[in-house]
A = this chain, B = another copy of it.
Amino acid sequence: MASLYTLSNPVFVSYAFYGTVAIVKMCGMAFLTGVFRIGGGSFSNPEDAKAFGVKQVKLDDERVERVRRNHLNDLENIPAFLALGVLYVAINPTPSVALWHFRIFVFSRIMHTVSYQLSLQPFRGIGFIVGMITMMSMAGQIISSTIL
């Protein structure tokens, strides 16, 4: 049986593209945290505070804590999506169905991130829920393909 994990499989190609976009977005949170830490002089390590001429660590800068909560929510969702994606490719779904799962997931996570930073509810909640539903749809299809 030919491998499904090649650039000649359109499902794999769309997974590779959207999966990488999700990873780059997630990594962007680390840089945003750095920008807010330096901008507010709010460091959690004494050696960082010292390097930027700040006397004390500051663990309750609201702007930093918000981006950290935002980033943690990514860690709770994006690695799970990436692992589901690998398995989803193996069950050989219809390419357009797979493409829309990947697109909706990545779009929902971008919506979550932006609305978290801007304190926009219920948009952040909708972004989170839509991403979860997309993952559960993938999970359900994988489970039913593996227990039959």
Contacts and interface: CB of A to CB of B under 8 A. Distances in A.
Interface stretch (A72-80, A93-101, A103-111): A72-80
A16 B132 contact: no
A55 to B, nearest CB: 16
Contact of A83 (B19, B75, B90): B19
A63 interface: no
Q: How many copies make up the complex?
A: 3
A26 B146 contact: no
Contacts of A21: 143
Interface residues of A, number: 58
B4 A6 contact: yes
A46 interface: yes
Given A16-B87, A119-B45, A119-B47, A5 B3 contact: yes
Nearest to A60: B59
Contact of A80 (B12, B26, B69): B26
Interface of A: 1-8, 12-14, 16-17, 19-21, 23-24, 26-27, 29-30, 44-48, 51, 66, 69, 71, 75-80, 82-84, 86-87, 90-91, 119-122, 128, 132, 135-136, 139, 142-143, 145-147
Nearest 4 Cβ contacts at the A-B interface = A3-B3, A82-B83, A79-B79, A17-B146
